[in-house]
Structure 1
Amino acid sequence: MPARTDSPPPPRSVMETLAQKYDVTRNGFLPHSAPVKRLSMHYATWELLAQCLPELLKERCLRGVVDGMKVLSVDNLTSEEEWQRAYVILTFLAHGYIWGGEKPSEVCKSLKSDASRVYVNLMQVLPPQIAVPLLQVSEHFDLPPTATYAGLVLWNFQSTSTDFSDPDSLKAITTFTGTEDESWFYMVSVALEAQTAYVIPIMVQAIEAIERRDYETMSVGLEEMINCIKEMDALLTRMYEKCEPATFYHDIRPLLAGSMNMEKAGLPNGVFYDEGDGKGSWRKLMGGSNGQSSTIQFLDIVLGVVHTGGAENATCPVSGVRGYASTTGCPISASKERRVGYHEQVRAYMPQGHRNFLKNLSRMGSLQEFAMSDHPGAEHARLRGLHEEACRTMGDFRKKHIQIVTRYIIIPKTKQPTDKKVRNLATASSESSDTSELKGTGGTSLAKFLAQSRDETYMAGCLTREESRVDPKGKE
């Protein structure tokens, strides 16, 4: 489904502000053009590993190859596009190394502490060959050194067209499995990002129109948003075309997992990022998740949807400050700590410009605040009705997402393969989880969290809880 072209273009000043201040392009949160496919010859080793990653994981020899590498400097990265490509490669290699063996990599290291030398048996170690450049590249972007939506999706596609909203014209540059299933899984998300790009400046105008009570701009914006979400719904349904649920669940999803809440997989302390010379740090980080999409949070903010799910996993300060705690992967802050929901936590996993955009947009208020206020007249009644319809449509989109999750995760979980041979640590940790406590790659209790997010979306439009009630497995 191509991007809409019948909507009036927003003022040039709006687009320029979005691009200059927040790195929001004509493709929304995607880059203005397709990402770089390969780095210079200086990084030929990285590129060769990325190209051979599916085979190396299949043969369980990635760790041995990486351990024999030299640590490459990031000094030869010459553009933002190359830095992005480096982040993609290194996060894929990191997750392949962490999850690609039958058990965590065990090694005895000599670590320096403030008082004395301490010897610790490290249960899971990411070696300097990956950890050192990955930490440097992550610092460059102020992103966690782990697989994120940015590295898996936003910066990891090639296209035969300048229109990125058609998944048939897209292909992932790097994957863990080399399968069309994995590429399609990422590329449907790329297409969703491109498909919704046109509505971003329109809704920014709608928010700005609140102060001057410009009902026409607000109403037109909501109408466009409703159509946009319906298009997202239709595009999400295409996931079934080229991505088999069993392949996703058993081969792809385990490799996306983070190091947070992975005690049962043998990572009680997370992963140790070894920087060499006795230096390094333990980190517990979320894995790659579509919940890290800035587009979905943008739509929520505009509609005034407030999410509280996932706060039970929050042990870190509020986001918005550069730097990450070594044990949690959460932003370091000197401010008073408070528990925050998953949706707020994952902003630290978004590119800096995008999370700044969401933060500043939140300060501008939402259409809900104005639509639900007490103003007389037909214009206001129409606006309120459109806001309710937009929340209902967004809630329906989340219902569709729950159905996708049910088909791709919950049902395959109950149908374990008859072949009991464990291929790698990732598969083992996936198969050992209790269905009732099934976690998403972001670390949340999957079914409960998604159902709560859906209900909160419906409730933002003032629907009653009974009207919004849907079974967590997607059945009304």
Structure 2
Amino acid sequence: MGSDLKFTKESFTGFLSGVIPLRHSDSNQPDVIKLDQLANSIPKLLLTNKIRYVVDNLDKNFFSHDLTSHSEAEIKLFNVQFSFLAHAYVWGDENPATVLPSSISVPWKKISDLVGRPPILSYGSYCLDNWHKIIEDEEISLDNVALNYNFLAGIDEDWFVTIHVCIEDAAREAILATLAIADSFAEQKVSDDALQTHLEVINTSMKKVNEIFKRVPEKCDPYVYYHRVRPYIFGWKNNPALPDGLIYEGCYDNQPQLFRGETGAQSSIVPTLDALFNVVHERDELREYLDEMRTYMPPAHRQVIEYVEEHSTLKNYIDSNDTLKSLYNECVNEVTIFRSQHLQYAADYIHSQSTKNTKFGSGGSVVRGTGGTPFMKYLKKHRDETDSSKINS
């Protein structure tokens, strides 16, 4: 099994692990058992407004045992569980909490350091490490994937995340083909026939991704997503609800920290393809934000992006080959379609919902994404920049 901490070509199987994430730890350590119980109780604790009461009554030394005996898979599980618990605590009442108790913040900080990401719910914890198959010997699909943990246990929340799990699986072949192309440039063993094969794989893979992405509205309603799902995944950077950030009691000298919320921009698929196709995004607020998002990715995933960026000179290489140019443009078009669909969802699921009055509130700025950035004009700009990367015949 490949590690999320360090990229090695020999063990890398895509951004979605080939090994199903743990749902529970087999450890008989009392705090591990308690954490598991708490994480599984989050929907009920939010429903009854008891989440803060329960967390506030945890022992100050909760989860202070030695973590070295746990496997990487267990550490990732603990990170998922603490991430959900912390976000439920912060956003699970009428007013957001400004201090995260040390019983949660101290172990979470240690665990997040071990997974190489900041202590906040990230795409890795919300999606990549948070699913299982209903029937283990069947393929990953929207008919066979469910979440391990959620906030309110609603169909809209689960569907929204499992869509992304299946996207990551569908993109696996595209990412592996991308790495093969980058390898060929790195080793100076580029073959037109091999490039054609790899580009055909990428094109087919991304078509599958786009077919899955189109299905978001089937079981995820924009109103429910905006008012019942989205508020729990906000972060505490550029968020008017927590303008000074969040204090992690017992960590960072008790100084408030500013971290971005969970967002699909923390997926490594599109940045890796941008790197392969040498797509250039002019510097703007979204590009700076997307660069920052790499901090929230598993270390091995951002290393993949950097590897492809360093070695791919695909666009220049194929400029004189009409067959490869056509395939290149078809692949870029699929990325453009993906970005267009994302732009449409941003309009339907966020922008249009922000104008509606509701008793539920927004959980954060109504004009910003969950990551804390104004998005509409920049999403369109980046979509157009992708499309303009096509090579003229």
- Distance change >3 Å, CA 253–CA 366, structure 1 → 2: farther
Query: Alpha carbons of 1:53 and 1:161: their partners in 2 closer, same or farther (altered >3 Å)?
Result: same
SS class of match (1:165): coil
1:59 paired to 2:48: yes
Give the direction of change, closer, same or farther, for the CA distance of 1:406–1:17 in structure 2 (3 Å limit). closer
CA contact (8 A) 1:146 1:258 kept: yes
Paired with 2:139 and 2:245, the residues of 1 have a C-alpha distance of 36
C-alpha distance in 1 between matches for 2:102 and 2:357: 36
Show the counterpart of 2:120: 146
CA deviation after TM superposition for structure 1 residue 200, in Å = 2.3
Residue of 327, 335, 343 corresponding to 1:402? 343
Aligned partners of 2:130 and 2:147 also within 8 Å: yes
- Deviation of residue 161 (structure 1)? 3.3
- Kept in 1, the 8 Å contact 2:177–2:199? The answer is no
Percentage identity across paired residues of the two chains: 29
Per-residue deviation, residues 153-192 of structure 1 (Å, max 9, x unmatched): 1100010235553021010000011112211111111111
Q: Note the alpha carbon deviations across 1:225-268, whole angstroms, 9 max, x for none.
A: 12211111101112122222221110111111110011x21x22
Q: CA deviation at 1:16?
A: 8.8
Aligned equivalent of 2:234, options 236, 241, 257 = 257
2:294 is equivalent to residue 347 of structure 1 = yes
1:228 to 205, 208, 217: 205
Is 2:87 aligned against 1:91?
no
How many residues of Structure 1 are paired with residues of Structure 2 in the alignment?
384
Distance 1:302 1:454, change over 3 A: same
Distance between the aligned counterparts of 2:78 and 2:116, measured in 1? 14
- The structure with the largest alpha-carbon Rg is 1
TM-score, normalised by the number of residues in structure 1: 0.75
**Distance in 1 separating the partners of 2:9 and 2:138:** 18
Q: 1:200 is matched with which residue: 175, 181, 184?
A: 175
Cα distance change of structure 1 residues 261 and 381 upon mapping to structure 2, 3 Å threshold = same
1:255-404 to structure 2, matched below 5 A, reads: 255-262=232-239, 264-265=240-241, 267-275=242-250, 279-308=253-282, 311-312=284-285, 341-372=288-319, 375=320, 380-404=321-345
**Counterpart Cα distance in 1 of 2:228 and 2:269:** 27
Whole-angstrom distance in 2 between the partners of 1:200 and 1:89: 28
Distance 2:357 2:119 in 1: 31
TM-score, normalisation: structure 2: 0.90
The answer to whether the 8 Å contact 2:3/2:300 transfers is: no
Contact in 2 for aligned 1:176/1:255 (Cα 8 Å): yes
- 1:165 equivalent to 2:94? Answer no
Give the counterpart letter for 1:390 in structure 2.
C
Is 2:102 the counterpart of 1:72?
A: no
Identify the residue that residue 376 of structure 2 maps to in structure 1: 447
* Structure 2 CA distance for aligned equivalents of residues 91 and 16 of structure 1: 23
Deviations 1:20-79 (A, max 9, x none): 844886751122211111123421221121111112122222111101002212525511
Distance 1:197 1:25, change over 3 A: farther
| Match in the other structure for 2:17 | 31
Match of 1:460, SS state, is: coil
Mind listing any 5+ residue stretches in structure 2 that lack a counterpart? Answer: none
8 Å Cα contact 2:88/2:232 also seen in 1: yes
Greater RCO (CA < 8 Å, at least 6 residues apart): 2
